Structure 1
Amino acid sequence: MGFLRSFSLLCLISVALAHEAFDSHLLPRPLILEFPEGVVNQVKELDGEIKLRCDSWRFNVEANNLNPWKRIPESCSEYVKQYVTGRAYQLELEIASNEAQVFAKTVKLVGDGKDVWVFDIDETLLSNLPYYTDHGYGSENFKPDEFDNWVEKATAPPLQPSLEFYKELLDLGFKLVLLTGRSEKQRECTTRNLINAGFYDWDRLILRRDDDQGKSAILYKSEKRSEMENEGLRIIGNSGDQWSDLLGTSVSVRSFKLPNPMYYIS
């Protein structure tokens, strides 16, 4: 009888609790929620599909198949963030610089001081990642005034593989020309930033003058390279993060494209 009374009392308490408002604090800790296996697999497949699509998108960006584009796909913002802040980006920078160095060492310089290597600056020598960290890693529309304010600070860090390659080229005897889309009015802060980042002894720093404004990057940089050739300079190598740094006329013997999935310049 005692057992029956206890069992009946337990049933009555269970019924009473079933009609009370749900209180999560009554649940044991930690609370573990288990989803059906099909739901878990579906979430994993979705994440894998997004990564696959963003991998494919970045590949086609680097192959110049998607030009022109203004922003990274919204679904790839986290993917680009992880890429540019992770090991993959650094490794690809290292490979590009190492391969360029291998080529440079095979070049037999004439010795007349006219063998030139051309470098872009932004995302080639200097990294604007601190700026793009605050602007969605390329997911926001580009704001020229805000970027100019960042440039004026002259605090962009060096891309270390590029810095090491730059110094190796100096040791090999190349003349170094820095050809950038930055404005002539930014010469002082650009020079200061380059020196503070460890770059020095370049032969010339070419920036956009007033009469260069409005020209596409390909046209502007082609014209400047043509002027170099007219002076008798031999453009042996060219390093840049944009295809517009490398294409056009008066191109180098070898060109080396550095990765950049954050923005596109035509």
Structure 2
Amino acid sequence: MASGQSVVRTILFLLCLVSTAVSHSLIQLVSGDRKIRIDDDLYCDSWRLSVENNNAGYWSTVPSRCERFVQDYMNGERYSSDSEVVAEDSLAFVKTVEIAGDGRDVWVFDIDETLLSNLPYYEVHGFGSETYNETSWDSWVNLAEAPALPASLSLYKELEQLGFKIFLLTGRDEYQRNVTEKNLLSAGYTNWERLILRGTSDEGKPAIVYKSEKRAELQDEGYRIHGSSGDQWSDLLGFAVAKRSFKLPNPMYYIA
């Protein structure tokens, strides 16, 4: 009998050791996975800062380890908050501008990810983790269903009331004019002075060259470009730049 009890105690002891070892391994696994997630979020937050500051230079897709981070950022409160801060900074500058009243005081807006949000499209296409596909993008544009970015719409309306002439300068092509106008109107944008799209003579030009040339043409017409808003550095840099340029957040893609 004593021998049987000894065997039972030994078995129970071994089971306890195995259970402890398994539990310890699971804790290590969970802790390791949590550490990986924290490390990725920390890296990706720094990567996004590098992108927004234009330190990263050209990049084609979101790093694989940052796909979830970008998705969470774009769908979360931080993206909305960051966009609102950009609009507030823009309005703070606007208050320093004296409007001449001659119709020559101008603000230039990009469209995609500046006035209109294409999140419904990028939710289906990996939030920048997929290589750009012109066919699927054009199909989305033709739907004319992109919603307004709320902070940008508020800024747009404020500028309009203050007497700025608003020019829309986009990398979209001329054949997309009708659907672009339809989308802008349905999203709440009205009374722009001119919608500028890429024509045949602009084909193949880098965005920074194309947009600089179009701003230069406006200046040659006598317009004073006080402000410019865009989600890409190529919307804002180059020549014939605005007195103040305001970069909206966009960690999903980069256009040179």
TM-score for the superposition, normalised by structure 1: 0.87
Give the one of 48, 64, 74 matched to 1:58.
48
SS in 2 for 1:106: coil
- Higher normalized helix content (fraction of residues): 2
Q: Which runs of 5+ in 1 are unaligned?
A: 19-32
Contact kept in structure 2, 1:105 and 1:172, CA below 8 Å = no
C-alpha displacement at 1:67, in angstroms?
1.6
Aligned residue in 1 for 2:182: 192
User: Which amino acid counterpart does residue 117 of structure 1 have in structure 2?
Assistant: W
C-alpha distance in 1 between matches for 2:48 and 2:97: 32
C-alpha distance in 2 between matches for 1:96 and 1:117: 15
What is the count of residue pairs matched by the alignment?
243
The structure having more radius of gyration, on CA atoms, is: 1
Q: Which runs of 5+ in 2 are unaligned?
A: 16-21
Give the one of 225, 228, 240 matched to 1:250.
240
Aligned residue in 2 for 1:202: 192
Give the one of 89, 99, 115 matched to 1:109.
99
Contact kept in structure 2, 1:177 and 1:204, CA below 8 Å = yes
User: Which amino acid counterpart does residue 172 of structure 1 have in structure 2?
Assistant: L
C-alpha distance in 2 between matches for 1:79 and 1:53: 10
Deviations 1:207-259 (A, max 9, x none): 00011010000000000000000001000000000000000000000000000
SS in 1 for 2:88: helix
C-alpha displacement at 1:66, in angstroms?
1.1
SS in 2 for 1:70: coil
Deviations 1:21-76 (A, max 9, x none): xxxxxxxxxxxx84455444333222111111101110000010112110000110
Contact kept in structure 2, 1:238 and 1:252, CA below 8 Å = yes
Give the one of 217, 228, 231 matched to 1:227.
217
Aligned residue in 2 for 1:139: 129
C-alpha displacement at 1:118, in angstroms?
0.1
Alignment partner of 1:239 is 2:250: no
SS in 2 for 1:127: coil
Identity of aligned residues (%): 52
C-alpha distance in 1 between matches for 2:250 and 2:42: 18
SS in 1 for 2:254: coil
C-alpha distance in 2 between matches for 1:78 and 1:35: 28
SS in 2 for 1:265: coil
C-alpha displacement at 1:87, in angstroms?
0.3
Aligned residue in 1 for 2:139: 149
C-alpha distance in 2 between matches for 1:263 and 1:130: 15
RMSD between aligned residues: 2.0
More deviation, 117-126/40-49: 40-49
Alignment partner of 1:164 is 2:149: no
C-alpha distance in 2 between matches for 1:50 and 1:152: 36
C-alpha distance in 1 between matches for 2:189 and 2:23: 56
C-alpha distance in 2 between matches for 1:40 and 1:154: 45
User: Which amino acid counterpart does residue 128 of structure 2 have in structure 1?
Assistant: G
C-alpha distance in 1 between matches for 2:128 and 2:37: 21
More deviation, 115-124/94-103: 94-103
Aligned residue in 1 for 2:18: none
C-alpha distance in 2 between matches for 1:86 and 1:107: 33
Match runs of 1:29-48 below 5 Å: 34-36=23-25, 37-48=27-38
C-alpha distance in 2 between matches for 1:46 and 1:70: 24
User: Which amino acid counterpart does residue 223 of structure 2 have in structure 1?
Assistant: L
User: Which amino acid counterpart does residue 243 of structure 1 have in structure 2?
Assistant: W
C-alpha distance in 2 between matches for 1:34 and 1:90: 42
SS in 1 for 2:191: coil
